[in-house]
Structure formats: structure tokens, C-alpha cells
Chain A
Amino acid sequence: MNEILIKYIQEHLLSSSDIELTSEDDLLGSGLVDSMGMVKLIAFIEQEFNLTVPPQDMVIENFMTISYIENYLEQRKQA
């Protein structure tokens, strides 16, 4: 899951290909991904993991880093 997300962000959302991305990098606050990028990322997650992210789930606590996203997806799986 981790690799899929890193690969997608690195290939489609980062402005420069030489940025090394880790699971703990702040995607939202550091300007790594812009707001259009977040929209794309969420659309990718919905398609890739076959689920719908409802608007009220689009919060910082769920999407700030790749590991936050993993936690969120885990919770969704269990629910």
C-alpha cells in the first residue's frame, strides 16, 4: 500500500522528480502536494482501493502523511 501511494505521488504529483518521499513527510503543510494534487490523490485512492472517501473524511488527520493515509485506509477496511 505504502509503495503504491509513494509511487503515485512521486510520478504524478510532485513538482520535481528528485524529491525523496517518505511515509512521514508532511504532504499538506510543506507544499509538496498542491490542492489540485490532493483532489487527484483522493480520486486515485478511491479507484485503487475501491472505496469512496466521503467529504467529511477529507480532514488533515486522515491525509497529512502517507502513514496517516494508511491508518485511515486500515480503519475503513475494518469498518
Chain B
Amino acid sequence: MIFTLPQIIKQSAKLYPDKDAFRYGNTAITYGELSIKMNQLANLLISLGIKKGDRIGIFMGRSLETAIALYGISNAGAVFVPLDPQAPLSRTHFLINDCDIKCLITNSAQKRTLKSVLADPLSLKNIIGIEDNWPVESYSWTTVFENQSKEDPNINILEKDLAYIMYTSGTTGQPKGIMHTHYSGLSYAKLSKALYNVNPNDRVGNHSPLHFDISTFGYFTTPLASATTVIVSEAHTKMPASLSQLIEKEQLSIWYSVPLALTQLLHKGLLEEKNMTSLRWVLYGGEPFPPKHLKQLMGLWSQAQFSNVYGPAEVNQCTFYTIPKNFDETQSIPLGAIWDNTEMLILDQEDQIVKQGEQGELLIRSATMMQGYWKQKALSQKGFYKMEASAESPIEKIFYRTGDLVRQDENRNLLFMGRKDRQIKTRGYRVELDEIETALLRHAAIQSVGVFPVKDEEYGQLIGAAIVLKDQHKLEEKEIRNHLSNFLPWYAIPGQLFFLDEIPRTSAGKVNHKLLQKQSINLT
């Protein structure tokens, strides 16, 4: 029986030692190799004094080493924290500090970025993945694989132990860390493996970077099924024609990404001439798929099933919906029904259950649910809803408040109706608009701001910002973008900036975001 994440690899290494676990470009790692290399990394970490529960950062882009890092850290009993190497330096430093990270696992591609990170090493004591003349001790991958024991360190890990922390946009201007245990991560892998019938013959296209929760399918579910994950390179995600070549060449059978990755291929007409009949299941998540484009894609890949995957990173996944071939493209696509081992509530503003068919906030209780936000007790409490023990239910039940407004249609499928707060999805990424406002207001020349979503045919939602400058101040758009890039990831930087004399306000004196959104259509 397996109950921790590293046991996924140990099990598949016994069953299929010579099978490719992960592929990247022209390189690959088998389950046998991965089970040895993860032990070697774990042994080095332990020799450096890393203890159970310590946080270790994974600081690299899409690569084979991400898999070794993730499983090596877990097998040492430590907690892995995916960091985005393209994030602004201040954000990286915040995460290192927030999680008290002692060691970063990286690879040679990050040399330039790491140099600036290490200008202030904070709690860092070690770098693994590049050896260099740095203020902290460093070890190359070669020395790890040459010098470390291949034996399993056999750390006593419980399923309820913390396994990983994934950061997401926070409203206060700082990101928040979602804490998952081996149990919640593995529960997701087991449920998704069963639902999509992932088997050892599958070849799964993983388009997401490790710090984006969609990647758990490629990193946890595929190996649990002893199948092969093909890690799509950064370059392929930017060059559509190369991406379509990759799907064909790697004979992918399952694809999972945000809709944008697929609509880009579709719009450029890059799919018609390729043989992609190997695809049997296409999963998308992160944001809605424009129905018109989905219909076109389903026509081209008629042999494949298509499913909408929904679930905030706090619960991994919680609903599924397989799209009927003859769906009505004038309607938006449902989130679907909740999946196994999961319970839901739809509550109104007074936390009362809404009548059947009425709109309310979706709350989820599931095996795949997080433990809370790292070091944020108040925020965690706010995010959970506790249903006290009662005569009907002798145990207390804890639900996660998704903040998503839904209603159930006549077929009991959930429909997405909007957000309770100011969180949006842009290109699949989750962004808190208030965080952008906070970042803008940190500029000395900016008086007041209003940040709002802008509808876009291809990208779904983009971001607009209305800005009022202080008297006697001048600012160029470029200066503002440079300023924001110090605090925000690239996808959170507003594409459209508007300079106004005054920000419209509601009668209560709050920024009138709805009006700004309306006006922005006339301003462009």
C-alpha cells in the first residue's frame, strides 16, 4: 500500500524499472534511474542537516531535474516549495524568507538569476544543481550522482506530514503558501488516475511549470499510473509550430493545459496537417475555454474526449465535466459535478444553504484539500468553514470556501457564475487585482489607482489599470511597467494603462471598478 509521494516512484520502479518516467527534449529518465537519483539527492540533503519538515526550494524552469528535486526532497521527509525563476527578485526573496528555506535545488540554466538571488542569501545555506563560487556552499548535479549513496534513507514519513507548499497571489500584496500533505497530494493522484483511466501506456503532455498547480497531474498522477510524462519545454510553450510538432512526435495520449495553449495552435492553423490521433483525452483547466474554439478543436481531434477540470489549488481538483460532442456552443461550459471522496455546499451570504438552482458560494470538503496557508492562521481560518458536530453528523466537518459563485443546473452540473471577490484568471494564472493596486501605489508619483479586468477575445481576461498621478508628476507607461515588474509576476502586469484626472468612486467612496471597466472600452 502506498501513502506518501516518494512511494509513487518506488512502486513504479519495481513494476517498470526501464520505462521512461519523464521526458524532456531529447533526454529522458526511467523509473529505475529516478528512484536511485531521488535517493542520492535525499541522502545529500540529510547529510547537510536537513530534517523532516524543513522547506527546500525548487528554483528552476521546466526540466528533468524538477522531477528528481521534487521526489528527492520528499524522500528526505522535507517539504518542497516550487519557486518561479522568472518571478521578480523581491517575490523570490519573500518566499525564501517566508518559508525559511535553507537550500535551493536548481540547474545550470538559472545561473544568471541565482546570482542576483544570492546577493542577499537570507536563510539560504546550500545550493544544489550548480557549483560556483557563491557565498553559500554549492554542489553540482554530477557530484550528487557520483558521491551519494543510492540507498533509500528510509525516513519515517506519515501521510499526514506536510509534503509541499505552493504559492498563489494574495490580496494584501504578498503571495500566500498553500500547504498540502502527502495525503492530499496522493489523494489527488489516485482520484485523477481513476477518473481519466491513466494507464502505463499513456504519454502525458505536461505544459505547466512546477509552480503552477496544474502540473500535479504530470508530476504525481502519471507516475502513479507508471505512465510517461513529457515535460513541454519553455521554448515549445512560446513557439506554437514547435508545440504541434512535439504533440505529434511524442505521440501524446493525454494533454492537460490551460485553454490558451490550445487556442494558439488552433488559431494559427497548425493542427490540420498533423497526425494527432494518439490523443485520447484532452483536459483543460485554470479558466473557461471559449466554447466556439472548443467546438472547432473537438471537430479536429474527434477521436479524443474533452474534459473541463475545475478546482482551486487549495483543493487540487474537485469537479469534472466531460464535454458532450454536440454541446451548445452559445452556452458556457459547466464545471460539472463533484468527484469522488468530496462533498460540497452552496451557501448564501449568511452561510445558509441556497435553494436548488440558486446562486451561492461553493464550499468543498475533500481528501484532496489543503491544511491551510503557511504561517497565516487568520487567513486560513477565514478560508475554512467549520460545520459543528450535530445529531446528524457527530464529527466536525471542515470545508474550504472557494470564493467562486456557482449554481446547479437541472442536470445537477455546477455552473460558474463569477467571483465573490476581486480574484481573476488571466491566461490561466490566478491574480488578485488588489495586489496589483497595492504594487502600483508603492510608486511615489502615483496618487490613486483602479485595476480592473478587460475582456479579450483570445486571452479571455486581461488586466487594465487606471492611474491618477500626483500633481506636478509625469510618468511614462514603461516606467510604470518597470516599477511593477519589481513586485509582480509578468502575467499580473496590466496590459492597458489609462491616465485619468480622477478615479471614479461609488457613493460609499470606494473605487468604482465596474464603471472603470465599462469606460475602458471607450478609452481604447
Query: Which chain A residues have a beta carbon within 8 Å of chain B's beta carbons?
Result: 11, 15-17, 26, 28-31, 33-36, 38, 55-61, 63-64
Contacts and interface: CB of A to CB of B under 8 A. Distances in A.
A38 B240 CA distance: 11
Contacts of A29: 61, 109, 233-235
Given A17-B482, A31-B61, A58 B234 contact: no
Interface string B467-500: 0000000000010001001000011000100000
Interface residues of B, number: 26
A61 B88 CA distance: 29
Given A15-B485, A55-B241, 5 more contacts: A11-B478, A33-B238, A58-B239, A58-B240, A58-B268
B376 interface: no
Contact of A16 (B235, B482, B491): B482
Nearest to B240: A58
9 contacts: A16-B482, A28-B234, A29-B235, A30-B234, A36-B495, A58-B241, A59-B241, A59-B242, A64-B235
Nearest to A25: B112
A34 B490 contact: yes
B86 interface: yes
A64 B25 CA distance: 15
Contacts of A17: 482
Contacts of A35: 237-238
B91 interface: no
Most A-side CB within 10 Å, residue of B235, B240, B495: B235
Contacts of A28: 234-235, 238-239
Interface string B10-31: 0000000000000000000000
B56 to A, nearest CB: 21
A36 B489 CA distance: 13
B270 A56 contact: yes
Given A16-B482, A17-B482, A57 B241 contact: yes
B171 interface: no
A56 B452 CA distance: 35
A39 B472 CA distance: 36
Given A28-B234, A29-B233, A30-B109, A59 B61 contact: no
A5 B233 CA distance: 24
A38 B238 contact: yes
B193 interface: no
B495 to A, nearest CB: 8
Contacts of B241: 55-59
A59 B482 contact: no
Interface in B105-121: 109, 112
A75 B261 CA distance: 29
Interface in B186-239: 233-239
Interface string B54-91: 00000001000000000000000000000001101000
B245 interface: yes
A29 B240 CA distance: 14
B378 to A, nearest CB: 33
B44 to A, nearest CB: 26
Contacts of B482: 16-17
Given A28-B234, A29-B109, A30-B109, A60 B268 contact: no
Contacts of B485: 15-16
A55 B245 CA distance: 12
